[in-house]
Structure 1
Amino acid sequence: MLDESLLDAPEELARVDRKGLLRGAAEAGARVRTAARHAADAGIAELRPDGRPRAVLIAGPGTAATGVADLLSALAGASAPVTRLHPAGVAPAAGALRWTLPGWAGSVDLLLIATVDGTEPGLAALADQAYRRGCTVVAVAPERSPLAEAVAGAHGLLVPMARPPHQDFDDAATAAAGPGALWALLTPLLVLLDKLGLVSAGPEALQRVADRLDRTAERCGPAVATYGNPAKTLAAELADSLPLIWTEGEAAAPAGRRFAATLAELAGRPALAAELPMALPAHGVLLSGAFAAGADPDDFFRDRVEEPQALHTRVVLLRDRPTGGLTAAPAARELALGHDTAVSELEPEEGGELELLAELLAVTDFATAYLALASGGRP
C-alpha cells in the first residue's frame, strides 16, 4: 500500500531515503556536468578519430549499463549499429560473469565498458580479449579499480567515474539502477560518440541537458506538493496498479523501458513497456482480463479487509513532442478508456532530442523513487 501522506512530508521522505534515491535524481544535472569534465580531462575532446567504427559494442552489468546501451542505440540510429553484449555464462571457478566478443569483432570496432563497480573480473578479461582482437577499448569506471588497470593494459581509454560521497555503492541495485549512475556512465560516452560523429552531444547540447534536468528536479522535488508535482502525481496514480508503459517517439522508447526496469529493481513493482502502435495488440488483452479495472472474479460480498488489493492495469503514455505525421496516441487513449482503464500521460517541453529524453528520464526516475519510498521500499 502507498502511504500518500508521506509524499507531502519532505523531512520524512529524507529520513526514509537511506539509499539516496531522491538526492541522486536531484543531482542528475550536476552529474552530467561533472562527467563531461571528466571526459574532457581524460582527453576525449582532443581525439581526432579516423572515420567511424563499423560497430559499437557495449558491455556492463546491471540496469545502468542496459539503459546506456539502449539510449545510445536510439540516439545513434543508423549511424552505426550499437550492440549490447550479454554475459555468455558464469565462470565455474570464480563465479564471475563471462563476457565474450562476437566472432566478427575486430580492429574496426569499438568496445565500450560501463560499470559503477570496476571489480568484475569478467570485464577485465573482456578488455584483454578486445586488445588481442585489435578492438579499441573505452571504459567508464571507478579509478584505481581492477578494470581500470585492465583497460590501461589494453592501451584503452579510461574515463574515471566519480562516486558521490553521500551514496552507498555497497548496495548493488541502487548503484546499478539509481539515476545518478545512469548519467555518470552515459555522459562521457555521449561525448565520445559526438567526436565520432554518431550523435549530436557537443558541450552546448550537454549544458542544455543539465539545465533541463535541473529544471525538472525543481518541479519534481520533495518540497513540491503532490498536486503540482508530476512525479509525485504519477507515483500516486501507479499505486496498486500494473503499469502498461506505452511509448511513442525515439526518445520515449528507451525512457519507457528504463522506467519499467527501475520500477521492478528499485520499487519492487512489475511493469510492462512497449512501443506504439504495437503496444495495442500486445497489451490489449490485459485490459479485459484478470488485470482489467474492476475485475473481481470471486465473491463480491467477501471480507477484503485482510487481503492485499488486486493489481489493475493503468496505461502510462510517454511521448516525444510530435513534429508532425501520424500518431497512435488517440487510438491508445480510446482503447484504454473503452475498457475503463485510467491513463497517465507524460510529454516533455519543447527542445532537442537529448533534452526531451532527459526530462522523461528525470520525471520517471523521481516517480520510481517516490513509489519505492512511500510503499516501504523494495520488498
Structure 2
Amino acid sequence: MFDESLLEDPDALAAADSHGLLRGAAAAGARVRTALRLAEEAGVNEVRPEGRPRTVIIAAAGTDAVAAADMLAALGAGSCPVQMLTPTGPTAQQSHWTLPGWAGPLDLLLLLTPQGTEQGLTDLVEQAYRRGCTAVAVTPPKAPLAEAVAQVRGMALPFAALNGNGGGYGYGDRYGDGAAEAGEPADDTGAFWALLTPLLAVADRVGLLSAPTTALYAVADRLDEVAARCGPAIATYTNPAKTLAAELDDALPLLWSQGRVAGAAGRRFASVLAGRAARPALCAELPAALTAHGPLQAGPHEQGADPDDFFRDRVEESPGLRLRIVLLQEAADQPGSAAPAAREQAYSHDTPLSEIAATAADPLDIAAELLALVDFAAVYLAVASTERS
C-alpha cells in the first residue's frame, strides 16, 4: 500500500527509508566524481588508441550494468556500431557470453559488472585475447575479472562500490581478507553511475562520443541540481519526482519516449520500478508506442466497473487496471516530434498523462536530468509503499 502522506513528512520518509535509498539517490553526483577520480588514477587519461574501434562490443552483468551499457549505446549512436552481447545460462553467475565470429583486433570489448566474479566474463576475456580484441573492464579491484583483464594487458577500471563500513565510496574491501560473499548491491542506488562514468571516460578516449573530464564533472553538478529539486524536504507540489510517484500509485505505467537517450532512460525507469518498488511498467519508443500500446488503452479493463452504475456491487468488484502514460522527451516539442500525437491518443482514450522533458541541451546533461528524476520517483514509490519498507 502506498502512503502518500509520507511524501510530505521528511522525518517520516527518513524513518521509512531503512535501506538508505534516498540518500543513495541524492549522492549520485558524488558517485560520479568518485568514479571519475578512480578511473583517472587507474590511467584512463593515458589511453592512446590508434583510431576509433571498428565496433564496440559490450558484455554487462547485472541490471545496473545492463542499463549503463544501454545508455552508452544511446549516447554513442552513429559514431561506430555498438553491439550488446546477450548471455545464456540459468543464472547471472552461470551465464556465458560469446564473441561474434567477426570480432578481431579492430574491435573493442567492454566488460561491465559490479561483482567481477562471473566466470562467463572471465572466459570472455580469454576469447578476446585469442581474437586480438582489446579488453576494458569496469569491475571491483582484486576481483577475478580485474585480474583476468590485467593478465591480457587490458585495462581494469575500478567500480566505485560502497565501502564495507558504509562510509562513502571507493574501492571497498569486498575482496580483502574476511570479505563478505560478493553480490550485486540491490539497494545501492548509485551503482548505475559508478558503472557508467568510467565507461564514458573510455568512450571519450576512443572517440565513441564526446565526454571530456569537464563534461563529466558537469554531469555530477547536474545530478546535484536534480537532487536539490527532488529531495525529501521539497514539497510534493513543487517536487517533480514526488509528483510522479504519487501519479503512478496503483497505475500501470506506459513509458513512452522520444529520442535515443530518452528511450534508454525509459528502459532504466522500468528496471528501477521493478527492482526498487516492485512495480511493473511497459516501455515503447514513439511513434511505435502509439500502435503497440493502443489496444491496451482501448481495452475494456482500463476503467474497470462503470463508475456511474449506482447499483453495482462495490464489495465484490475488483479494481480495473489503471493506465498512465509517462512521456519522456529529450527536449520540449521539436518539429517532427510525435509528442502531439501521443497527447492526442492519451486524451482520446481518457488515459492520464505525465510528461518529463529535459531542459538541458547536451546529451550527457539530458541523460543525467532524466535518469536522476526517474530514479528519485522510483525510490519514493519504494519508500512510501508499506510492502517494501
Structure 1's 8 and 29: CA in aligned 2 closer, same or farther, altered over 3 A? Answer: same
Asked if the contact 2:21/2:187 (under 8 Å) is kept, the reply is no
Letter of the 1:254 counterpart? A
Structure 2 counterparts to residues 1-379 of structure 1, below 5 A: 1-90=1-90, 96-165=94-163, 166=166, 175=185, 178-292=188-302, 294-296=303-305, 301-304=312-315, 309-322=319-332, 324-378=334-388
Which residue identity lines up with residue 154 of structure 1 in the other structure? V
Distance 1:323 1:208 in 2: 25
After superposition, what is the alpha-carbon deviation per residue over 1:156-185, rounded to whole angstroms, capped at 9, x for unaligned? 101111222338998999736854111101
Shift of the 295–162 alpha-carbon distance from structure 1 to 2, 3 Å rule, reads same
Matches of 2:280 and 2:372 in 1, distance apart?
20
Change (3 A) 1:236 1:173: farther
- Alignment coverage as a number of residue pairs: 375
Q: What amino acid is aligned across from residue 311 of structure 1 in structure 2?
A: L
Q: CA deviation at 1:59?
A: 1.1
Q: 1:173 to 1:164 in 2, by over 3 A?
A: closer
1:54 & 1:323 partners in 2: Cα distance?
35
CA distance in 2, matches of 1:223, 1:311: 32
Question: Which amino acid in structure 2 is aligned with residue 225 of structure 1?
Answer: A
What amino acid is the match of 1:245? L
**SS of match in other structure, 1:148:** helix
Deviation at 1:89, TM superposition (A): 2.4
8 Å contact from structure 1 (residues 291, 313) kept in 2: no
Corresponding residue SS for 2:355? strand
Q: In the TM superposition, what is the alpha-carbon distance from 1:347 to its structure 2 partner? A: 0.9
Q: Deviations over 1:61-80 (max 9, x none)?
A: 22112112211111111211
Equivalent residue number for residue 177 of structure 2: none
CA distance in structure 2 between the aligned counterparts of 1:219 and 1:362, rounded to whole angstroms? 10
RMSD, matched Cα: 2.5
Q: 201-210 vs 81-90, which deviates more?
A: 81-90
Alignment gaps of 5+ in structure 1: none
Are 1:63 and 1:176, in contact at CA under 8 Å, matched by a contact in 2? no
**Which digits, 9 at most, give the CA deviation of each residue in 1:263-299, with x for residues without a partner?**
112211110111111110110111111442x233899
Matches of 2:380 and 2:341, distance apart in 1: 30
Q: Which amino acid aligns with 1:227?
A: Y
TM-score (norm 2): 0.90
Residues 105-154 of structure 1, C-alpha deviations (whole Å, 9 max, x = no match): 11111111111111112211111221122111111111111111111122
- 2:53 is paired with a residue of what secondary structure? coil
Give 1:244 shift. Answer: 0.4
| Aligned residue identity for 2:126 | D
Q: Is residue 314–residue 342 contact of structure 1 (8 Å, CA) maintained in 2?
A: yes
Q: 1:330, 1:132 → 2: CA distance?
A: 52
Distance of 1:203 and 1:244 partners within structure 2: 36
Higher mean displacement: 209-218 or 8-17? 8-17
Q: Is the 8 A contact 1:173 1:266 kept in 2?
A: no
- C-alpha distance after superposition, 1:189-222 (max 9, x if no partner): 1011111111111112112111110000011111
CA distance in 2, matches of 1:142, 1:174: 11
Partner amino acid, structure 2, of 1:137: A
Give yes or no for contact 2:115–2:183 (8 Å, CA) kept in 1.
Answer: no
Greater displacement, 255-264 / 10-19 = 10-19
Residues 308, 2 of structure 1: CA spacing in aligned structure 2 closer, same or farther, 3 A cutoff? farther
SS at match of 1:211: helix
Q: Give percent identity, aligned residues only.
A: 55
For residues 248 and 228 of structure 1, what CA distance do their matches in structure 2 show? 25
1:172 & 1:261 partners in 2: Cα distance?
A: 22
Letter of the structure 2 residue corresponding to residue 249 of structure 1: G
Other structure's SS at 1:251 match: helix
Give the SS at the match of 1:303.
coil
Asked if the contact 2:62/2:114 (under 8 Å) is kept, the reply is no
Q: Secondary structure at the match of 1:158?
A: strand
Question: Conserved in 2, the CA contact under 8 Å of 1:39 and 1:188?
Answer: yes
